[in-house]
Amino acid sequence: MTPPGRDRLRELLDAVLDEDNRTLSDMAGDAYASPFHFSRQVSGGAGESPVALRRRVVLERAAWQLRQGASVTDVAFAAGYESVEGFSRAFARAYGRTPGSPAPATGGRDAHWLPAPNGLHFHPPSSLWVSDEPVRRGGDEVTALMVHHGVEDTRALLELAKGLPDDEYRRVRAPGLTVLVWDGPEETLAAVLDTLVWTLEVWVASVEGADHPVRGADDAAALLERHDAVAPRWLAVVRDVARRGAWNDRLVDALCEPPESFVLGSVVAHVLTFSAHRRLLARHWLRAAGVAVDAGDPIEWLSRRDR
Which among 130, 115, 126 has a CA at the least distance from the CA of 9?
Answer: 130
Q: What is the pLDDT of residue 22?
A: 81
Q: Give the separation between CA 98 and CA 103, rounded to whole angstroms.
A: 9
193 confidence band (pLDDT: 50, 70, 90): very high
Angle of CA points 222, 223, 225, to nearest 5°? 65
Query: Coil, strand or helix: which one is 155?
Result: helix
Q: pTM of the full predicted structure?
A: 0.64
Domain that holds residue 162: 140-306
Q: Give the separation between CA 182 and CA 2, rounded to whole angstroms.
A: 61
Instruction: Tell me which of 151-155, 161-165, 198-202, 248-252 is least confident.
Output: 248-252
Q: How far is CA 246 from CA 136, 234, 238, 285, in A?
A: 13, 15, 10, 37
In sequence order, what are the beta bridge partners of 263?
Answer: 250
Q: What is the mean pLDDT of residues 84-108?
A: 81
Instruction: Tell me which of 6-10, 37-41, 233-237 is least confident.
Output: 6-10
Query: How buried is residue 45: exposed, middle or buried, by Cβ count under 10 Å (0-12/13-18/19+)?
Result: middle
Query: Coil, strand or helix: which one is 122?
Result: strand
Do 253 and 229 share a domain, yes or no? yes
Q: Examine the pLDDT at 33 and tell me if it is beyond 90.
A: no
Q: CB–CB of 196/278 below 8 Å?
A: yes
**What phi and psi values does residue 127 have, to the nearest 5 degrees?**
-125, 180
Q: Average pLDDT over the chain, rounded to whole?
A: 84
Q: Examine the pLDDT at 19 and tell me if it is beyond 80.
A: no
Q: Is residue 1 assigned to a domain?
A: no
Q: What is the pLDDT of residue 136?
A: 43
Q: Examine the pLDDT at 168 and tell me if it is beyond 60.
A: yes
Do 144 and 118 share a domain, yes or no? no
Q: Examine the pLDDT at 246 and tell me if it is beyond 90.
A: no
Do 102 and 120 share a domain, yes or no? yes
Q: What is the mean pLDDT of residues 210-227?
A: 92
Q: Give the separation between CA 65 and CA 125, rounded to whole angstroms.
A: 9
Say what percent of the chain tops pLDDT 90: 41
Q: What is the CATH number of the domain that holds 111?
A: 1.10.10.60
Do 229 and 178 share a domain, yes or no? yes
Do 95 and 169 share a domain, yes or no? no
Q: What is the pLDDT of residue 219?
A: 97
Q: Is residue 208 assigned to a domain?
A: yes
Instruction: Tell me which of 162-171, 186-195, 261-270 is least confident.
Output: 261-270
Which among 116, 155, 147 has a CA at the least distance from the CA of 238?
Answer: 147
Q: Is residue 2 assigned to a domain?
A: no
Helix locations, 79-213, DSSP H: 84-95, 133-137, 140-161, 166-169, 189-208
**DSSP E strands, 225-271:** 250-253, 260-263
Do 146 and 43 share a domain, yes or no? no
Q: Give the separation between CA 3 and CA 259, rounded to whole angstroms.
A: 64
Do 128 and 59 share a domain, yes or no? yes
Q: Give the separation between CA 279 and CA 157, rounded to whole angstroms.
A: 8
Q: CB–CB of 279/154 below 8 Å?
A: yes
Q: Is residue 194 assigned to a domain?
A: yes
Instruction: Domain count for the chain, please give it.
Output: 2
Q: CB–CB of 51/307 below 8 Å?
A: yes
Of the residues 95, 118, 137, the one at which a domain ends: 137
Angle of CA points 209, 213, 218, to nearest 5°? 150
Do 161 and 286 share a domain, yes or no? yes
Q: What is the CATH number of the domain that holds 239?
A: 1.20.120.450
Amino acid present at 67: R
Q: Examine the pLDDT at 41 and tell me if it is beyond 90.
A: no
Do 45 and 150 share a domain, yes or no? no
Q: Is residue 100 assigned to a domain?
A: yes
Residue 159's CB is within 10 A of a number of other CB atoms, namely 12
Q: Is residue 188 assigned to a domain?
A: yes
Q: What is the DSSP letter of 211?
A: P
Q: How far is CA 287 from CA 5, 165, 192, in A?
A: 57, 14, 15
Of the residues 137, 159, 186, the one at which a domain ends: 137
Dihedral angle computed from the Cα positions of residues 115, 262, 203 and 133, in that order, rounded to the nearest 10 degrees: 0
Backbone torsion region of residue 152, taken as left when φ is above 0, otherwise alpha when ψ lies between -120 and 50, otherwise beta: alpha
